[in-house]
Amino acid sequence: MPELPEVETVKKQLSPHIIGRTIPKVTLLWDRMVKGQDAQEFVRRIAGQKIIDITRHGKYLIVSLYSGDKLIIHLKMSGSLILGKNDSEPPKYTRAIIHLDDGQNVFFRDPRKFGVLKLLKDLKEIDAKLGPEPLEKEFTLKLFTEGLSKRTAPIKALLLDQKFLAGVGNMYADEALFLARIDPRRAANTLKNAEIRRLFDAIHEVLNAGLKYGGASIVTYYHPDGTMGTAHQHFNVAHNQKKECPVCGGPIERVVVRGRGSYYCPKCQK
Ligand SMILES: [Zn+2]
């Protein structure tokens, strides 16, 4: 699933192509990706709107429109936004086409069909679901320490909780816990100060590396220009079951933590 580095990369690549453009229309090939309103009403309301900005919050893309409307895009499990010409053949699994007034299209490709399109008047609904942005100043070691001290959930589950921390998902949580040498199953409130500090630094390190490599393309993630990210080539443990730990040489194992497959080194992570 695209996480903070993947979604941020999409935002950066799309920005110069869509800001200032008008959307003559949106073609829906899978109506049910529109959430919270009737699909035809969505299509009517978005037609003719000018794009002012595109931002990211957590794993959401937020396209601000001239009327004040916000087009919310969530790539969920398998979504990609791919740029192409108006007359080009839509990529396989295209579920929606955002037409632009300069003859370009943004194709919402989504094999698994979990992706979401939504028009909102404001961002209250989105903001209410999301905790601090891990790469912004609002995410401090103090805030992180206090948050962990109150929670008994496994640390891995807490890192995936978008209300606790926005934008971290399965891959980067596994990578951060590996760097911090912490077992994903540990109860959050049992982490010692030195471990919390390591984890705090590790979250920054793995997300910044993810951004540097244009995100990870484990399965279906594509950049808007159709290329793939390379962050997964630098992962230590995520999706590396049965491979060797780069630190101790022991096998990477997979455990299920609150329903999510988690890769870790049983020797290095305690
Ligand atoms: Zn190891």
Q: Annotated catalytic, 21?
A: no
Q: Annotated catalytic, 95?
A: no
What local confidence, expressed as pLDDT, does residue 219 receive? 74
Mean pLDDT across the chain, nearest whole number? 96
User: Is 95 in contact with 35 (CB distance < 8 Å)?
Assistant: no
How far is residue 75 CA from its own chain's centroid?
Answer: 7
The predicted model gives 81-110 an average pLDDT of: 96
The predicted model gives 72-80 an average pLDDT of: 96
pLDDT value at 61 more than 80:
yes
From the CA of 166, how far away is ligand 1's center (Å)?
28
Selecting among 21, 35, 186, 260, the annotated active-site residue is 260
pTM surpassing 0.85? yes
pLDDT confidence bin for 46, thresholds 50/70/90 = very high
User: Is 175 in contact with 238 (CB distance < 8 Å)?
Assistant: yes
pLDDT value at 39 more than 80:
yes
Strands 60-65 vs 70-74: parallel, antiparallel or unpaired: antiparallel
pLDDT confidence bin for 182, thresholds 50/70/90 = very high
What local confidence, expressed as pLDDT, does residue 1 receive? 86
Q: Annotated catalytic, 59?
A: yes
- Residue that has been written with the tokens 């951004």 in this structure: 211
pLDDT confidence bin for 3, thresholds 50/70/90 = very high
Selecting among 3, 6, 8, 175, the annotated active-site residue is 3
- What is the share, in percent, of the chain residues with pLDDT greater than 90? 95
- What is the share, in percent, of the chain residues with pLDDT greater than 70? 100
What local confidence, expressed as pLDDT, does residue 45 receive? 98
pLDDT value at 231 more than 90:
yes
From the CA of 202, how far away is ligand 1's center (Å)?
16
CA distances to 40, 124, 155, 261, 265 from 46, in Å: 10, 20, 41, 38, 48
What local confidence, expressed as pLDDT, does residue 242 receive? 72
From the CA of 173, how far away is ligand 1's center (Å)?
17
From the CA of 261, how far away is ligand 1's center (Å)?
18
From the CA of 245, how far away is ligand 1's center (Å)?
5
pLDDT value at 257 more than 90:
yes
State residue 36 phi and psi, 5-degree precision: 80, 0
From the CA of 169, how far away is ligand 1's center (Å)?
22
pLDDT value at 220 more than 90:
no
Q: Annotated catalytic, 113?
A: no
Residue at 121: amino acid letter: K
What local confidence, expressed as pLDDT, does residue 83 receive? 97
What local confidence, expressed as pLDDT, does residue 174 receive? 98
Residues with CB under 5 A from ligand 1 (ion): 245, 247-248, 250, 265, 267-268
pLDDT confidence bin for 24, thresholds 50/70/90 = very high
User: Of 123, 101, 126, whose CA–CA distance to 47 is shortest?
Assistant: 101
pLDDT value at 87 more than 90:
no
From the CA of 236, how far away is ligand 1's center (Å)?
10
User: Is 149 in contact with 141 (CB distance < 8 Å)?
Assistant: no
pLDDT value at 41 more than 80:
yes
What local confidence, expressed as pLDDT, does residue 258 receive? 96
